[in-house]
Amino acid sequence: MIWLAILAIIALAAFGAPLFALIAAVALIGLQLSDYESTVLAVEFNRLAESPVLIAIPLFTIAGYVLSESGAPKRLVRLTEAMFGWLHGGLAIVAILACAMFTAFTGASGVTILAIGALIYPALRQAQYSERFSLGLVTTSGSLGLLFFPAVPLILYGIVAQSLGTSPSAGVEDMIKAGALPGLLMVSALAAYSMYAAPKRAHDVPFSAAELRAALWDARYELPLPFIVLGGVFLGTFAASEAAAITAAYVLIITVVIRREIPLQRLPAVLREAMELVGAILLILGVSLGLTYVLIDAGVPEQIFGFVNTHIGNKWAFLLLLNGFLIILGMLLDIFSATVIMVPILVPIAISYGIHPVHLGIIFLANMQLGYFTPPVGMNLFIASFRFKTPVLVLTRACVPFFFVLLACVLLITYWPGLSLWFIPPSP
Amino acid sequence: MIQRVLKILEQIENTAMAVLALVLIFAAAAQVVLRLFDVGVVWLDPVLRALVMWIAMLGALAATRHDKHINLDALTRLLSGWSLRAARLLTLLFAAAICVVLANASYGLVQLDRESMTPLVNDIPAWWVEVILPVGFGLMALRFALRAFVLPAPSQPEAT
Amino acid sequence: ATVFKIATVAPDGTTWMKEMREAAANVKAQTEGRVEVKYFPGGVMGNDVAVLRKMKLGQLQGGAFTGGEISQVQGDIQIYSLPFLFDDLNEIAYVRKTMDAEVKQRLAAKGIVPLGIAGGGFAYLMSTKPLRNQHDLRASKVWVPQNDKIAQVAFEQSQVNPIPLPLGDVYTSLQTGLLETVGTTTSGAIIFQWHTKVKYAFDLPLTYVLGVFAVDKRPYDKLSPADRTVVDREFAQAFQDIELAAAKDNENAWQTLVKNGVSFVKPDATEHQAWIDVGVRTRDAMVANGGISKDLLDKILALKAEYQSQQAAKP
Ligand code: NA
Ligand code: NA
């Protein structure tokens, strides 16, 4: 009977049933098995209203949507071009930097490819970068920046991990600090590869002080944003949720009131689109709180824990298996569902191997980033395929070298905990 | 006639969402500014968190309208014609059924908190906030059931 | 076997959890496996409101709460925590010897049986800024725990406009300067790592901190009288040990704080009186708003007076 139900759920998943319904169904089966009322699921779902950091998710999502609807992507590309365009492989580096920054604000929801990729792709082609390289770069860069605050997956990991009450703990602020260096590693590695792979006489942009000044002036309202967001948290002026509040209000004021790039009549539609994503994420988070409860109550994490501990001898073997598992998970599941379902199970196991939950978070997100352009689910492949009118298979091939560059980064991040824990004070 | 009513309902939903989003942004920003000036308002934080819950439910309801719920769509991309229809009918009716159960479960929560007079903050009862759960899931069930019989607009891989 | 699933925010490995686990093992052994106690530490079951909900639904059979948290069920459980009600721990011990039974009974009448009440010692105000008097306090950013009615009323009475935050956000907020002043026991300051941030402490016992371990009355009443006796005895013992350990922890923590450069400032006579007055006004306000029963308070004040006259009579 139980196997029948599980089979039915797998079939429904394959045919595209909403994930929240599938998670809820599994949780309900669990409740049925332990003879609990279904009200329990609502009690857990209601814990969404318990977490003070959660507010960061709608606020940053709104900020990201508003920014991508404004002229900010254009100004960001212009500015990075004026700053780095003159380097060898300069345009590729521009693509990487602009995508990373933009993804941090839009949470790798695929908007990056539409907003930035679409701007840069023609420029790359015009500068004689090969079609394959250009497509691969733009598709890959669409998820770059996932490790940078305020990317929503980073925040979500912090929220879920913190709710577990482990020691050492991993809060949102820790994740923000931890993501910086590994994120920079990925950006630098891709930039280095691009410099190597760029055509010999890439027709890039000559440096112009006047253009740089103009670009800086053009982006004057957006320039304070990284400082509000990152400076606030790194210097300790703001908590993550507060940085979110200030960012959202600031972005709304500059785009709607000062620049007037989003007319007032258009604003509700932009807000609604942001809210749809927020609703989809939080719904999954809410029901998975229920699932996590069912699993904890039934002692499932302890059983998995025991199993893993008896079969995997040491930390390094565990990390190797973890990477393999996470890449597959990233291929099959979207980042939000993967986080809310797997993190409560993975964190205690990782801690038992002496892996800091903050480090685990960075490993987790870095692997998930690969999943964005790995078939069969890799969302960015489909978005790029739609945007650039290119078959998914061609795109997949184009992404191969970039995949290996990032895979090397993921391995380095995995086996060098210090990189992630650089700014994290040692736990007492 | 039904079309007109649905249209009006959607407009109410859109307006409610935009208003809640704006209130959330500016109330949250106000809280930061107040804190910097040393003023704490006891009820503001629970109210903000309640707003997040309402936005989540209304957002999820709107996501249902536009097929924006997160799912594994590798297989469905390959489907078309009757097989796509069948897959949608099956999966969306399943989602509707789950929403009915969730609506019922959250009605239980509202009852529970009404009986024990659980406060949100000060004298505001918690169930005033929670009432969005049964209402939201109920409407979502309805909408899933309706969408089960409708094919989405020509496929456009949009950013989720 | 009857299983009691118990939620607590205390992380595994703390003294509290060790004692609780020991009690559970003893209960299981002495009831020959008829009563089993299972813990969910680290707050995995959610905050106090969520835990109480789950107790009503029968998902959980008990939890560990602070006096403030459980006061949403019955206000009188928090009565020992009225600010400036007691001057020292001996006074409290004297009062509690007589009053505990009645206080527990009042909570049990609401369907929740407190198996143990443990005093966690006195809370002190600690700050990142110099803290000498009420004026300094008003000028700083003061934390108040969410849902702590008494603390909110007390701050109101001393014209402090506190900032309500959940416990988990306090450390970051001290770091970022969103908060400057917190109230906690000396060992609490170390457990939560706040001692690395605060520099000044006000040497005046603010309030008696209370931990309450309570279970749902329904499964508890279903136990056989003999098993119930075992449960009562073992947890009473555990709580006695916890209280002793807490007293020792607090003393050691005080030394650690001093070693870490935290300076404790004693209030002068006028200042001390001003605080006592705040305490009295808070008591009155809590009685007036129905948070605390007057008859219970009167009994406690009478016992306190009795203790003080006994002390005065001693040579
Ligand atoms: Na925070
Ligand atoms: Na959880």
The tens digit of pLDDT for each residue in B80-134 reads 888 889 999 999 999 999 999 999 999 999 998 898 877 777 678 889 999 999 9
Q: Residue A393: which of A383, A385, A402 has the closest Cα?
A: A385
**How many Å lie between the centroid of ligand 1 and the Cα of residue B14?**
30
Provide the pLDDT for residue A202: 61
**How many Å lie between the centroid of ligand 1 and the Cα of residue A53?**
5
**pLDDT exceeding 70 applies to what percent of chain A?**
98
Tally of CB atoms within 10 A around A63: 27
Look at chain A and report how many structural domains it folds into.
Answer: 1
- CA A393 to chain CA centroid, Å, is 24
Is A7 inside any structural domain?
no
CA distance linking residue A226 with residue A102, whole number of Å = 11
Shortest CA gap A408–chain C (Å): 34
Interface of A with C (CB under 8 A): 36-37, 39-40, 43-44, 46-47, 50, 52, 162-167, 171, 173, 236-239, 242, 293, 296-297, 428
Average pLDDT for C245-265: 92
CB A375, CB A392: distance < 8 Å: yes
Q: Which residue has the tokens 């719920």?
A: B69
Q: Residue C263: which of C199, C206, C204, C205 has the closest Cα?
A: C199
Phi, psi of A334 (to 5 degrees): -75, 160
**pLDDT exceeding 90 applies to what percent of chain A?**
42
Provide the pLDDT for residue B108: 94
**Structure-token pair, residue A86:** 């003159």
Report which listed range, A41-45, B5-9, C164-168, is most confident: A41-45
**How many Å lie between the centroid of ligand 2 and the Cα of residue A296?**
9
C109 vs A109, residue with greater confidence: C109
Q: Which residues of A touch B35 (CB under 8 A)?
A: 242
Interface test with C, best of A166, A235, A297, A345 (most C CBs within 10 A): A297
Bridge partners of C114, per DSSP, are C214
**How many Å lie between the centroid of ligand 2 and the Cα of residue A164?**
6
Indicate whether B28 pLDDT > 90.
yes
Who contacts C105 (Cβ-Cβ below 8 Å, separation ≥6)? none
Is B156 inside any structural domain?
no
Tally of CB atoms within 10 A around B150: 11
CB C251, CB C190: distance < 8 Å: no
Provide the pLDDT for residue A236: 67
pLDDT band of A169, cuts 50, 70, 90: confident
Shortest CA gap B4–chain A (Å): 20
**pLDDT exceeding 70 applies to what percent of chain C?**
100
Report which listed range, A285-294, A358-367, B67-76, C187-196, is most confident: A358-367
Indicate whether A402 pLDDT > 50.
yes
Is A11 inside any structural domain?
no
- CA A213 to chain CA centroid, Å, is 32
Interface test with C, best of A40, A294, A345, A423 (most C CBs within 10 A): A40
pLDDT digits (tens, 9 = 90+) for A215-226: 999 999 999 888
The chain-wide mean pLDDT, for chain A, equals 88
For B100, name the nearest residue in chain A, comparing CA atoms only: A21
CA distance linking residue C91 with residue A292, whole number of Å = 46
**Structure-token pair, residue B66:** 């536009």
- Are A52 and C165 in contact (CB < 8 Å)? yes
Provide the pLDDT for residue A336: 85
Q: Residue A361: which of A383, A343, A384 has the closest Cα?
A: A343
CA distance linking residue B33 with residue C234, whole number of Å = 51
Is B44 inside any structural domain?
yes
- CA C118 to chain CA centroid, Å, is 8
Is A8 inside any structural domain?
no
Domain of residue B118: give its range: 2-149
Among C44, C57, C193, beta carbon nearest to A37: C57
Q: Which residues of B touch C53 (CB under 8 A)?
A: 109, 112-113, 116, 118
Is B73 inside any structural domain?
yes
Provide the pLDDT for residue B44: 83
- CA A48 to chain CA centroid, Å, is 20
Is A92 inside any structural domain?
yes
- Are A50 and C47 in contact (CB < 8 Å)? yes
pLDDT digits (tens, 9 = 90+) for A72-105: 888 988 998 899 888 888 889 999 998 998 888 8
**Structure-token pair, residue C186:** 């000396």
| Poorest-pLDDT segment among C283-287, C289-293, C296-300 | C289-293
What DSSP designation does C125 have? E
C72 vs A280, residue with greater confidence: A280
Look at chain B and report how many structural domains it folds into.
Answer: 1
Q: What is the ipTM of this complex?
A: 0.81
Bridge partners of C143, per DSSP, are C163
Among A239, A293, A297, beta carbon nearest to C172: A239
Indicate whether A214 pLDDT > 90.
yes
Provide the pLDDT for residue B158: 46
Average pLDDT for A29-43: 90
Indicate whether B38 pLDDT > 70.
no
Is A10 inside any structural domain?
no
- Are B35 and C165 in contact (CB < 8 Å)? no
The chain-wide mean pLDDT, for chain B, equals 87
C57 φ/ψ sector (left φ>0, alpha ψ -120 to 50, else beta): alpha
Average pLDDT for C172-191: 85
Provide the pLDDT for residue B159: 43
Provide the pLDDT for residue B154: 55
Provide the pLDDT for residue B160: 42
**pLDDT exceeding 90 applies to what percent of chain C?**
58
Indicate whether A111 pLDDT > 90.
no
**How many Å lie between the centroid of ligand 1 and the Cα of residue A239?**
5
Who contacts B45 (Cβ-Cβ below 8 Å, separation ≥6)? A52, B31, C146, C164, C165
Average pLDDT for B13-24: 94
Provide the pLDDT for residue B43: 78
Domain of residue A296: give its range: 17-421
Interface test with C, best of B33, B35, B120 (most C CBs within 10 A): B35
Is B157 inside any structural domain?
no
Cβ under 8 Å to C: B residues 5-64: 35, 38-40, 42, 45-46
In a 10 Å sphere around its CB, with 0-12 CB exposed, 13-18 middle and 19+ buried, how is residue C261 labelled? exposed
Provide the pLDDT for residue A147: 92
pLDDT digits (tens, 9 = 90+) for A246-269: 999 999 999 999 999 999 999 999
Who contacts B54 (Cβ-Cβ below 8 Å, separation ≥6)? B20, B129, B132
Is B160 inside any structural domain?
no
- CA B96 to chain CA centroid, Å, is 14
pLDDT band of A332, cuts 50, 70, 90: confident
Interface test with B, best of C141, C142, C152 (most B CBs within 10 A): C141
Report which listed range, A154-163, A328-337, B149-158, is most confident: A154-163
Provide the b/e sequence for C102-127 (b: ≥16 CB within 10 Å).
ebbebbeeebbbbbbbbbbbbbbbbb
Q: Which residues of C touch A44 (CB under 8 A)?
A: 46
Provide the pLDDT for residue A383: 83
**How many Å lie between the centroid of ligand 1 and the Cα of residue A281?**
19
**How many Å lie between the centroid of ligand 2 and the Cα of residue C9?**
14
CA distance linking residue C155 with residue C138, whole number of Å = 9
CA distance linking residue C270 with residue A191, whole number of Å = 68
Indicate whether C122 pLDDT > 50.
yes
Q: Is C178 on the interface with A (CB under 8 A)?
A: yes
Indicate whether A106 pLDDT > 90.
no
Average pLDDT for A408-415: 95
CB A175, CB A361: distance < 8 Å: yes
Long-range contacts of A1-8 (CB under 8 A, 24+ apart): A2/A29, A2/A33, A5/A29
Who contacts A106 (Cβ-Cβ below 8 Å, separation ≥6)? A64, A65, A67, A68, A112, A115
A332 vs A220, residue with greater confidence: A220
Provide the pLDDT for residue B157: 47
pLDDT band of C222, cuts 50, 70, 90: very high
Q: Which residue has the tokens 């060898």?
A: A88
Average pLDDT for C133-154: 87
